[in-house]
Amino acid sequence: MAQRARERREQAIAEGKEPEPLPNPFKITLNGGDINPEKGVAMEFEMPLSSVDQTALKLTTGDSTNIQEFPVSMVRDSVDVRKWRLEAPWLPAMRYRLLILPGALRDVAGNQNDSITRTFQVPEIDRVGTINIEVVGKTPESEYVVQLTDEGGIRVIDEKRHVKTGTISFGYLSPGKVRVKVIEDVSGNGEWNTGNLVNRSQPERVELWALKEEEPTITVRAGWIEDVKIDMAELFAPITTQSLWQRLEREDAARLEKLMEEVTRRREERARQERQGQRQSAGSMMQGATGLSLPGL
């Protein structure tokens, strides 16, 4: 795309026309809308940043007649150098406007940002839920990464790193079902390690927690606080042949249950459609009958 833009620009110059400006190669992912004030606003760049002018970040609320400015700063992620977050004294039910002035951000290639504006909304407390997790570590020094995922245990909604024995809180959660995924962070680096064949180190264990086998998810309710407790010694108990077979049996049973639910749902939907078709057919026959006229009348 950049090559075509340069070619069009060169062609315009050759024809004596005003060339179109080249697109800015500086790339940023920064979404507006509802935010979780406990997490801040996520920012991701195509290339790592080399400099940030914090004074060129402007966060305001209000309209043109009553503008209030709030302090705001960018903080780099401790794991991924391309990721940052915006931190500010966010307040519930408030709407904010962010302005990043041109040239405030520079990446390692020397590219700078154009003017960037976004609007954010902090949800009202009674529209979201909270989950408090009491963590009991194997030892006081043991560390974990605790993640909240979607119902399928795949998409990460939020996470806490370097978790030790104590209580952690996930707030401003949208109503719905979530799961808890835990990484036994043996290395203490705040992320999952895949292991190393040269050093003969195993991948760090990852487990999905469930209060009960038949209740693998936690239901987030608007305006509610859910309290759970996770014993890491129990969650990361040594894997034996018997426990592995039991786990496989539970997973097979869960898959079978979901399959049966889907089969039942499809049967009910098919039956509903057939009943609807029969009613429509009967209605058409009645209309046809009322439109007939008897001979001699």
Q: One digit per residue, pLDDT tens: the chain, 297 residues?
A: 555 656 666 666 666 666 666 788 999 999 999 999 988 999 999 999 999 999 999 999 987 788 999 999 999 998 899 999 999 999 999 999 999 999 999 999 999 999 999 999 999 999 999 999 999 999 999 999 999 999 988 899 999 999 999 999 999 999 999 999 999 999 999 999 887 777 777 899 999 998 876 678 999 999 999 999 999 999 999 877 766 676 667 667 767 777 888 888 899 888 888 888 778 777 676 666 655 555 554
Q: What are φ and ψ of residue 97, in 5° steps?
A: -125, 125
- Residues 98, 119 contacting (CB under 8 angstroms): yes
All structural domains of the chain, each given as residue ranges with its CATH number in brackets, are: 2-123 (2.60.40.3710), 126-247 (2.60.40.10)
Token representation of residue 31: 């979404």
Q: In this predicted structure, what is the pLDDT of residue 290? A: 59
pLDDT of residue 65: 81
What φ, ψ does residue 103 adopt, rounded to 5°?
A: 80, 5
Q: Report yes or no: 186 and 232 within 8 Å, Cβ to Cβ.
A: no
- What does pTM read for this prediction? 0.67
Q: Are 36 and 172 in contact (CB under 8 A)?
A: yes
Closest CA to 210 of 224, 192, 225, 228: 228
Alpha carbons within 13 angstroms on the beta-carbon side of residue 27 total: 7
